[in-house]
Amino acid sequence: MARDYYGTLGVAKDATPEQLKRAYRKLARELHPDVNPDAEAQSRFREVTAAYEVLSDPKKRQVVDLGGDPLGSGGGGGGGRDPFAGFGLGDIMDAFFGATGGGSGRGPRSRVQAGSDALIRLTLTLEECFTGVSRELTVDTAILCELCVGEGTREGSSPQVCDTCGGRGEIQSVQRSFLGQVVTARPCPVCHGLGEVIPDPCPKCTGEGRVRSRRTITVKVPAGVADGVRVRHAGQGEVGPGGGPAGDLYVEVEELAHDVFERDGADLHCTVHLPMTSAALGAVLPLETLDGTEDLPIEAGIQPDTELVLNGRGLPRLRSSGRIDGRGDLHIHLDVEIPTKLDERQIELLRELATLRGEEQPALATNGRGGLFSRLRSRHGR
Ligand SMILES: [Zn+2]
Ligand SMILES: [Zn+2]
């Protein structure tokens, strides 16, 4: 039993390729899985796509017109493979308009153009860069005009060949000069190089095929992003003139400086001020990390300018592929503070400590015989 491919697309048996394309495009806009996740819509989309594949191929269309079914060999239920399986709506539109636009080099340019990309800046704290965020953003953008589905024409009307240029999109003028004839071409001022005009434009978009709209979109920024990183949201930019495929939306991260941590890629650095006594006696420091408060043990006798490293306590390492590759480290720089103001009792205690340790006079490290330090020592009368 031959399938009714014309009926599936809703076109007459003598439909022109242009009419087929338009009918398919209209249905794809309603049924494409990107737009309509409904299971029934998806199975209809497959049928519609198969019908378009058959009817847009002159040989297969001939088979249909002779009462056969180019996809149903043996009458089995397998049906046609889906030529657009795995493609997004944007890819399909590219396949369509790429072909019409760049066919023969010269000639009218396509009314349908790809939309431009959009850029949004998003300010994030270090903690938000650590976890990643999902934000609702309101954007002012161009969306497809749903009244004409990008065609730009009023319902029931269609574009017409431009009288001024005869559909060529350009006007040639011939000038005689002493060099001979010079032919110059310039874009047709009436159709702006399109080769066609819309005598009865869509009342909603005035023929643009797209309208400005404010819409709310959810943007996702993965964990591990840093200042200046751009996250691409494919197909979320502006719809192009004539309902052309939408550009991409880029979200650029602006990272706020943190008051404790300094960032170096996925690694974090911070400085902890440690009293001299804690450095000598050892201590346990409660440290605020991105994972919560952690007890950092300081061993007795730790030296100034020591750097402690907590492995895996930095940020997720985000690769350009979007994959997370472990986490960076947290570097803790110890700054041992020597007291600058001492009361009498403290001076007494420190003196006593110095006596106990035999440090009443500083024992300077020598830098070899006759070096700077031994000269200093001799000046101090030792
Ligand atoms: Zn023209
Ligand atoms: Zn419109």
CA of 144 to the centre of ligand 2 (A): 8
Q: What is the pLDDT of residue 136?
A: 92
- The ligand whose atoms approach the alpha carbon of 206 most closely is 2
Asked if residues 118 and 246 have their Cβ atoms less than 8 Å apart, the reply is: no
CA of 205 to the centre of ligand 1 (A): 21
CA of 155 to the centre of ligand 2 (A): 9
CA of 183 to the centre of ligand 2 (A): 38
- The ligand whose atoms approach the alpha carbon of 165 most closely is 1
Give me the CATH topology for the region 262-337.
HSP40/DNAj peptide-binding domain (2.60.260)
CA of 146 to the centre of ligand 2 (A): 6
Q: What is the pLDDT of residue 88?
A: 43
- The ligand whose atoms approach the alpha carbon of 187 most closely is 1
Cα separation, 326 vs 316, whole angstroms: 6
Q: What is the pLDDT of residue 103?
A: 36
Q: What is the pLDDT of residue 83?
A: 41
- The ligand whose atoms approach the alpha carbon of 150 most closely is 2
Residues with CB under 5 A from ligand 2 (ion): 145, 147-148, 202, 204-205
- The ligand whose atoms approach the alpha carbon of 211 most closely is 2
- The ligand whose atoms approach the alpha carbon of 239 most closely is 2
- Angle, helices 89-101 vs 17-31, to 10°: value is 160
- Domain residue spans of the chain: 5-96, 262-337, 344-379
CA of 141 to the centre of ligand 1 (A): 29
Burial tier of 114 (Cβ tally within 10 Å: 0-12, 13-18, 19+): buried
Q: Using alpha carbons only, what angle is made at residue 97 by residues 93 and 98, rounded to the nearest 5 degrees?
A: 105
- The ligand whose atoms approach the alpha carbon of 157 most closely is 2
Strand 316-318 with 330-337, pairing: unpaired
Q: Which ranges constitute the DSSP H helices of the chain? A: 5-9, 17-31, 39-55, 58-65, 89-101, 126-131, 276-281, 344-356, 372-379
CA of 39 to the centre of ligand 2 (A): 28
Residue 63, SS3?
helix
Q: Using alpha carbons only, what angle is made at residue 339 by residues 333 and 345, rounded to the nearest 5 degrees?
A: 145
Question: Can you tell me which residue has the tokens 């979200």?
Answer: 251
- The ligand whose atoms approach the alpha carbon of 204 most closely is 2
CA of 354 to the centre of ligand 2 (A): 89
Question: Can you tell me which residue has the tokens 């030792």?
Answer: 382
pLDDT along the chain (382 residues), means of 10: 83 88 83 78 85 85 82 44 41 38 57 88 95 91 90 91 91 77 84 92 93 90 92 90 90 94 96 94 93 93 94 93 92 94 95 91 60 51 44
Return the beta strands (E) in 131-282 as ranges.
133-144, 160-161, 170-177, 180-187, 196-197, 210-221, 230-233, 249-255, 262-264, 267-275
- The ligand whose atoms approach the alpha carbon of 170 most closely is 1
Burial tier of 324 (Cβ tally within 10 Å: 0-12, 13-18, 19+): middle
CA of 150 to the centre of ligand 2 (A): 6
Cα separation, 115 vs 110, whole angstroms: 13
CATH number, domain 5-96: 1.10.287.110
Q: What is the pLDDT of residue 363?
A: 64
- The ligand whose atoms approach the alpha carbon of 151 most closely is 2
Nearest one of 207, 219, 227 to 136, comparing CA atoms: 219
